[in-house]
């Protein structure tokens, strides 16, 4: 996310008109003059409306900064030089519209901006795909060491339930010699994935396949299968905050215990892995549900920046029937 420095001084001192003439009727938002004002206003509004931030940004302030900078076409990793920049009325109108849509319609920020980030990777997203937020990307960042000694050992990999294509793209960067299949049941999701694969110029490395789990595959076997499948329990689906209802329902819910798709993956994974292959699955908050459903399995639970272990790793020999 490197950006060029702007040479001119964007601060505006006193000429910004913080000293409004209050003799005429005006809209209270007319007093929001600078980037700082707009961020403050958005943060307060988001907190007042009790918005939920589960799509990549931590809290109301982070989301306010991101939405204001993105809408003003400013580098999203450099706030300081612009804090006191005065915002002309047309730009302010645009920023306020985004702030109000986020707070009133509870649309996740990524759908308002059309982009989402996983670490340094940017992806195009819209309401056809779940917003990328997988802990798998963190685990992949170090090449799944120590379970994979050498990235060049991975020549075939599979991203199961690919959605926007995000994990397939991360895998292509971590394992440059791998041919990667990216599977999703949704043709709409695969259209978005195609945009992202082409944006990264990875058409030769990543093959997009419409399939219900493994069903459309022939006899392919993989050194690595990664999946961030739907895993939300029925009770949790019923309690989802409004933000999540903008996402495709099929990308979230997975039956009573959230393990519906995971069961299908584990049933067939052994036939899909090479003898030394590895399976990485994200199950979110559902470690207890996983352990109840598969008491005989002893996966390695990977630690990430999350406060709980949400990723499990199994070797092919653990999955032998």
Residue 6 in domain: no
Whether residue 9 is predicted with pLDDT greater than 70 in this model: the reply is no
pLDDT exceeds 80 at position 313: yes
122 within a domain of the structure (yes/no): no
In this structure, are 240 and 160 located in the same domain? yes
Where does the chain show beta strands of DSSP type E? 115-118, 121-124, 156-160, 179-184, 206-210, 222-227, 273-282, 300-302, 311-315
Looking at 88, 113, 138, the residue that finishes a domain is: 113
Q: Which residue segment(s) compose the domain that 104 sits in?
A: 13-113
In percent, how much of the chain has pLDDT > 70? 83
More confident residue, 13 or 246: 246
In a domain, 133, yes or no: yes
CB 52 within 8 A of CB 246: no
- Give the per-residue pLDDT at 237: 63
- Is position 188 within any domain? yes
pLDDT at position 226 is: 93
What phi and psi values does residue 130 have, to the nearest 5 degrees? -65, 145
Mean pLDDT, residues 142-154? 87
Residues 95 and 189 in one domain: no
List of residues 6+ apart from 51 with CB closer than 8 A = 60, 63, 102, 103, 106, 243
Asked whether residue 5 is domain-assigned, the answer is no
**Are residues 148 and 242 both part of a single domain?**
yes
Q: Are residues 97 and 134 in the same domain?
A: no
| CATH code for position 49 | 1.10.8
**What is the edge-to-edge ordering of all strands in the sheet holding 311-315?**
206-210, 179-184, 156-160, 222-227, 273-282, 311-315, 300-302
The pLDDT tens digits for 89-112 are 899 999 999 999 999 888 888 999
- Kindly state whether residues 209 and 301 are assigned to the same domain: yes
Q: pLDDT by residue (tens digit) across 192-222? A: 999 999 999 999 999 999 998 888 888 899 9
Distances (CA, A) of 161 to 63, 97, 111, 181, 313: 27, 34, 20, 11, 17
Residue 284 confidence (pLDDT) above 70: yes
**Number of domain units in the chain:** 2
- Mean residue pLDDT of the chain comes to 83
pLDDT at 21 over 70: no
Instruction: Assess whether 253 and 146 both reside in one domain.
Output: yes
Q: For position 308, what pLDDT does the model report? A: 62
Are residues 108 and 132 both part of a single domain?
no
Confidence of residue 147 (pLDDT cuts 50, 70, 90): confident
């Amino acid at each position: 996310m490197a950006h060029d420095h702007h040479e001119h001084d964007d601060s505006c001192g006193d000429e910004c008109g913080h000293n409004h003439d209050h003799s005429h009727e005006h809209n209270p938002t007319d007093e929001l003059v600078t980037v700082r004002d707009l961020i403050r206003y958005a943060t307060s509004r988001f907190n007042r409306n009790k918005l939920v931030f589960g799509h990549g940004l931590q809290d109301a302030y982070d989301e306010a900064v991101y939405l204001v900078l993105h809408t003003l076409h400013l580098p999203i990793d450099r706030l300081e030089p612009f804090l006191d920049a005065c915002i002309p009325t047309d730009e302010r109108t645009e920023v306020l519209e985004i702030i109000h849509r986020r707070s009133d319609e509870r649309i996740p920020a990524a759908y308002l901006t059309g982009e989402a980030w996983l670490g340094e990777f940017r992806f195009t997203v819209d309401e056809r795909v779940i917003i990328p937020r997988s802990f798998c990307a963190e685990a992949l960042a170090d090449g799944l060491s120590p379970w994979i000694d050498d990235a060049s050992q991975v020549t075939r990999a599979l991203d199961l339930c690919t959605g926007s294509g995000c994990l397939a793209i991360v895998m292509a960067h971590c394992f440059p010699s791998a041919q990667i299949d990216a599977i999703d049941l949704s043709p709409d999701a695969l259209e978005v994935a195609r945009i992202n694969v082409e944006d990264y110029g990875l058409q030769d490395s990543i093959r997009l396949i419409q399939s219900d789990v493994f069903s459309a595959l022939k006899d392919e076997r993989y050194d690595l299968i990664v999946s961030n499948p739907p895993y939300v329990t029925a009770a949790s689906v019923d309690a989802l905050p409004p933000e999540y209802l903008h996402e495709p329902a099929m990308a979230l819910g997975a039956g009573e215990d959230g393990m519906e798709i995971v069961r299908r993956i584990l049933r067939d994974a052994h036939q899909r892995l090479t003898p030394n292959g590895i399976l990485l699955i994200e199950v979110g908050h559902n470690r207890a549900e996983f352990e109840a459903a598969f008491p005989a399995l002893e996966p390695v639970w990977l630690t990430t920046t999350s406060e709980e272990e949400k990723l499990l790793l199994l070797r092919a020999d653990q999955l032998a029937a």
